[in-house]
């Protein structure tokens, strides 16, 4: 059960953030086998005063079109699966939303299964 957070600068297209979310969800289904209906996202747009990034960290030239994606998910995926996920998201955002590959910033936060409650105050995945 991934929880996805996507942060961008305010975009004049009111549907842009939703489009990004759709691409990320499709990429997770393809690259790391996230099942149907397992789609939980927080999509946030920020003004210039609340969106900070280094435009050249690690020699990667970023623009104001940078997209921050943080995915909290169960631990256990291989490094190869993670690399495929990064590539699939970046290529999908580029093809579907015109996001530059250099502007796709992804962070994975891995947690144990018992660290989730999907509702009703229960730990549905706890043994």
Residues labelled as active-site residues? 2
Q: Identify the burial level of 4 via C-beta atoms within 10 angstroms of its C-beta, where 0-12 means exposed, 13-18 middle and 19 or more buried.
A: buried
Q: What is the DSSP string of 29-77?
A: HHHH-PPTT--EEEEEEE-GGG----TTGGG----TT-EEEEEEEES--
3-state helix, strand, coil in the chain (%, to 5): 40, 25, 35
């Amino acid at each position: 059960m991934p929880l996805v957070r996507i942060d961008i600068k305010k975009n004049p297209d009111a549907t842009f953030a939703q489009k990004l979310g759709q691409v990320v969800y499709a990429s997770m289904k393809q690259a790391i086998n996230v099942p149907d209906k397992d789609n939980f996202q927080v999509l946030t747009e920020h003004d210039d005063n609340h969106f900070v990034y280094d435009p050249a960290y690690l020699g990667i030239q970023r623009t104001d079109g940078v997209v921050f994606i943080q995915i909290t998910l169960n631990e256990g995926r291989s490094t190869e699966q993670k690399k495929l996920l990064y590539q699939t998201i970046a290529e999908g955002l580029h093809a579907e939303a015109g996001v530059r590959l250099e502007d796709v910033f992804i962070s994975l936060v891995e947690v144990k299964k018992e660290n989730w409650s999907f509702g009703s105050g229960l730990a549905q995945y706890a043994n």
